[in-house]
Amino acid sequence: DSGVTQTPKHLITATGQRVTLRCSPRSGDLSVYWYQQSLDQGLQFLIQYYNGEERAKGNILERFSAQQFPDLHSELNLSSLELGDSALYFCASSVVLETEAFFGQGTRLTVV
């Protein structure tokens, strides 16, 4: 158990819908990262937050947005969902930017 908690574990939704994925980092960790893993793409970096501020952005679609709240938990919002958004979404956290990151068990999103 890495100490990073992601909810829900599984999510099935229809095209066009909007969902919110939640991540609780390890106690004391200030930085949160989001990754997407689909079958044909591998692990793709989406976005990183540090103490509530966005620090780095990867290949995140405009339909996706994220936020880190004052209590340091983070949410990834996915809207206008398409079949191709079906993937595993992982959250990771680290104490500060330059320390090792620990990953949660992921949310498996299926868009039908």
Partner 1 sequence: DAKTTQPPSMDCAEGRAANLPCNHSTISGNEYVYWYRQIHSQGPQYIIHGLKNNETNEMASLIITEDRKSSTLILPHATLRDTAVYYCIVRSGGTSYGKLTFGQGTILTVHP
Could you list the beta-strand ranges (E) of 1-112. Answer: 5-7, 10-13, 19-24, 31-38, 42-50, 53-57, 64-68, 74-78, 87-94, 102-103, 107-111
- How many residues in total does the chain contain? 112
Nearer to partner 1, 42 or 70 (CB): 42
x/- mask, partner 1, residues 81-110, rule CB under 8 A, reads -------x-x-x-x--xx-xxxxxxx----
Q: Which of 47, 39, 43 is nearest to 23 (CA)?
A: 47
Residue 102 CB, nearest approach to partner 1 (Å): 6
Binding-site size, partner 1 (CB under 8 A) = 28
What is the sign of the dihedral through the CA atoms of 45, 47, 50 and 56?
positive
Residue 112 engages partner 1 in binding (rule: CB under 8 A): no
User: Which residue of 25, 50, 72, 85 would you call a contact of partner 1, by CB under 8 A?
Assistant: 50
- The alpha carbon of residue 112 and the mean position of all alpha carbons in its chain are separated, in whole angstroms, by 20
User: Which residue of 13, 55, 60, 67 would you call a contact of partner 1, by CB under 8 A?
Assistant: 55
Q: Which residues bind partner 1 (CB under 8 A)?
A: 2, 4, 31, 33, 35, 37, 42-45, 48, 50, 55-56, 58, 88, 90, 92, 94, 97-98, 100-106
